[in-house]
C-alpha cells in the first residue's frame, strides 16, 4: 500500500506563504542591527540603536502609552467578550434571535476600521457636550479599542463553547455540583485556552492599531504607531526598528508560551 504524497505545489505554496508573512519583519530585525542610519546599505553590526532607546524620551513615552492602552483594553475586552459569548451560547434564544446575535457579532469584524473610527468620533463628540471625560485622550482610545476587540474575543470563546456542548453543566448538576461550581470547576478550565487566545488576539490588535488611535487620541496620549507615522516625514529612525524588534520578540515569546501550554494540556488529557 503506497503512502499518499502531497503534490509538489503544496509545500512550495506553503513556503511562499511563510516568506510573505515573515520576510518584512525579518527585514526590520536586520535593520535594527545595521550601523547605517539610512539602511540602504549594510554598515556593519551594532547595538547602538537598542542602547539609544534609553535616551529617547519620545519613544519611551509613546511605547508606554501603547502598552497601557493594549493591556487595559485587552483586559476589559476579554472579560466582556467572554461573558457575552457565554450569554449568547447558554441563553435559550430563538433561532431568529440567535441569528441576529451571530450577525451582530460578525459585523464589527468585517466593518472597515475607518468607518468605525468615524462613528466613534461622532459618538464621543455627542458625549463631550455633556462631560469633558470624552475629550480625545486615553479614555476614548481605550473605549475605541475595546469596541474593536470584543467581537474577536467572542468569536474565539464561542467556538470553544460550541465544541464543549451544553451537556456538561447538566452532568455536573446531576453530580450535585452547584451552578457556580460547575462553571468554575468544569467549563472555565476548558475555556481557559480559548480565553487566553482571545486575549492574545485582542492584545495584538491593540498593539498594531493605527486608524482608531489616530482618530481618538489626544496630544498627551500618542502611541508608538502614531509616532512612527509622524516620523515618516523625517525618515524612520533605526531606533524604531529596534523597538519593533523588541515588541515582535516579546509577542512571539508570549504566543510560544501559550502554544506550549496548550500542547502540554492536550498531552495530559490524552494520558487520562
**What is the pLDDT, as a whole number, of residue 1?**
45
Q: From 108, 265, 98, select the one nearest 194 (Cα to Cα).
A: 265
Alpha helices in 91-223 (DSSP H): 95-110, 113-128, 138-164, 167-174, 179-182, 188-207, 211-216
For the chain, the farthest-separated pair of C-alpha atoms sits apart, in whole angstroms, at: 76
Task: Collapse the DSSP code of 74 into the 3-class scheme (helix H, G, I; strand E, B; otherwise coil) and give the result.
Answer: helix
The model's pTM is: 0.79
**What is the pLDDT, as a whole number, of residue 246?**
85
Residue with cell 502554544: 259
Measured CA to CA, the distance from residue 267 to residue 263 in angstroms comes to 6
User: For the chain, which ranges sit under pLDDT 70?
Assistant: 1-6, 39, 165-166, 170, 173-177, 179, 269-272
Amino acid at each position: 500500500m503506497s503512502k499518499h504524497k502531497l503534490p509538489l505545489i503544496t509545500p512550495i505554496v506553503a513556503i511562499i506563504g511563510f516568506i510573505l508573512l515573515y520576510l518584512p519583519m525579518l527585514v526590520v530585525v536586520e535593520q535594527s542591527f545595521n550601523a547605517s542610519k539610512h539602511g540602504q546599505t549594510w554598515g556593519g553590526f551594532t547595538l547602538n540603536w537598542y542602547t539609544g532607546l534609553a535616551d529617547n524620551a519620545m519613544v519611551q513615552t509613546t511605547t508606554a502609552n501603547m502598552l497601557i492602552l493594549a493591556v487595559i483594553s485587552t483586559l476589559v475586552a476579554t472579560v466582556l467578550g467572554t461573558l457575552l459569548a457565554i450569554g449568547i451560547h447558554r441563553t435559550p434564544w430563538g433561532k431568529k434571535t440567535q441569528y441576529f446575535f451571530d450577525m451582530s457579532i460578525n459585523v464589527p469584524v468585517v466593518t472597515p476600521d475607518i468607518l468605525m473610527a468615524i462613528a466613534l468620533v461622532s459618538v464621543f463628540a455627542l458625549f463631550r457636550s455633556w462631560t469633558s471625560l470624552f475629550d480625545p485622550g486615553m479614555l476614548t482610545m481605550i473605549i475605541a479599542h475595546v469596541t474593536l476587540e470584543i467581537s474577536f474575543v467572542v468569536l474565539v470563546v464561542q467556538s470553544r463553547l460550541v465544541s464543549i456542548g451544553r451537556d456538561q453543566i447538566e452532568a455536573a448538576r446531576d453530580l450535585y455540583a452547584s451552578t457556580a461550581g460547575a462553571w468554575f470547576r468544569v467549563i472555565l478550565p476548558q475555556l481557559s485556552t480559548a480565553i487566553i487566545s482571545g486575549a492574545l488576539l485582542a492584545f495584538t490588535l491593540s498593539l498594531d492599531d493605527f486608524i482608531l488611535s489616530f482618530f481618538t487620541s489626544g496630544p498627551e496620549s500618542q502611541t508608538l504607531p502614531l509616532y512612527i507615522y509622524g516620523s515618516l516625514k523625517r525618515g524612520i529612525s533605526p531606533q524604531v526598528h529596534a523597538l519593533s524588534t523588541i515588541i515582535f520578540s516579546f509577542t512571539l515569546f508570549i504566543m510560544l508560551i501559550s502554544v506550549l501550554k496548550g500542547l502540554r494540556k492536550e498531552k495530559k488529557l490524552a494520558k487520562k
